[in-house]
A = this chain, B = another copy of it.
Amino acid sequence: MAGKKVLIIYAHQEPRSFNGSLKKVAVDELSNQGCTVTVSDLYAMNFEPRATRKDIIGPLSNPEVFNYGVEAYEACKKRSLASDIIEEQKKVQEADLVIFQFPLYCFSMPAILKGWMDRVLCQGFAFDVPGFYDSGFLKDKRALLSLTTGGTAEMYTKAGVSGDFRYFLWPLQHGALHFCGFKILAPQISFAPEFSSEEERKVMIDSWAQRLKGIWKEEPIHCTSSWYFGE
């Protein structure tokens, strides 16, 4: 939709990968709609995943015992976080919708993307205490996970060996994103592209592009535990 701003956080090493294709069609489709699209290509940026002392510029509030969460909170208030964090926070602040594009690693995000969550969505920027979940600071924004799996759709069912796919979405959608206030759009899961035919992969890519045409009309999912674990 013209005028809307989209941030894509993209975590794959290879532009010619299936994840790379999903990212590319999203950029193309959303740009065609007149949206402003920004991509954080984490591997290309060599994004730092480790939460360390280096994230705080200047003196610590307690140099005796280093507490990352406390120091990041104080540094956020004083605008003395590391510049790579501030850059990402600016992009989030501008965005109406944040799309995360990644392959599932061990039922979760690749570490490089986990590091983005750990460092960018800090207290003072994304939430405060109180000021989380429905009152999180990013409550006017939407977030969408677009991910690929190694396992098949069958494996990710209630009776399958890997359990319902919604189980692994809980910490990501509820714990990381909804905690910061984000309204969650339904995930886009492309199951087992590596074990799919060229034809099947094309169908998955097309259905993502197709879905994005109507993305601004979508209602967020009701982000309670029953969506994840209910019958």
**What is the interface of chain A, defined by CB distance below 8 A to chain B?**
13-14, 16-17, 43, 46-47, 49-53, 64-69, 105-112, 114-115, 117-119, 121, 133, 150, 158, 161-163, 167-168, 170-172, 174-176, 179, 194, 225, 228-229
Q: Which residues of the other chain, B, contact A53 by a CB distance below 8 angstroms?
A: 13
Copies in the complex: 2
Q: Which residues of the other chain, B, contact A170 by a CB distance below 8 angstroms?
A: 107, 163, 167-168, 170
**Do A108 and B167 have beta carbons less than 8 Å apart?**
no
**Do A111 and B111 have beta carbons less than 8 Å apart?**
yes
**Do B171 and A107 have beta carbons less than 8 Å apart?**
yes
Q: Which residues of the other chain, B, contact A110 by a CB distance below 8 angstroms?
A: 51, 114, 118
A to B CB contacts below 8 Å, 10 in the list: A13-B52, A43-B52, A46-B50, A47-B50, A67-B194, A106-B121, A107-B175, A108-B114, A108-B171, A111-B111
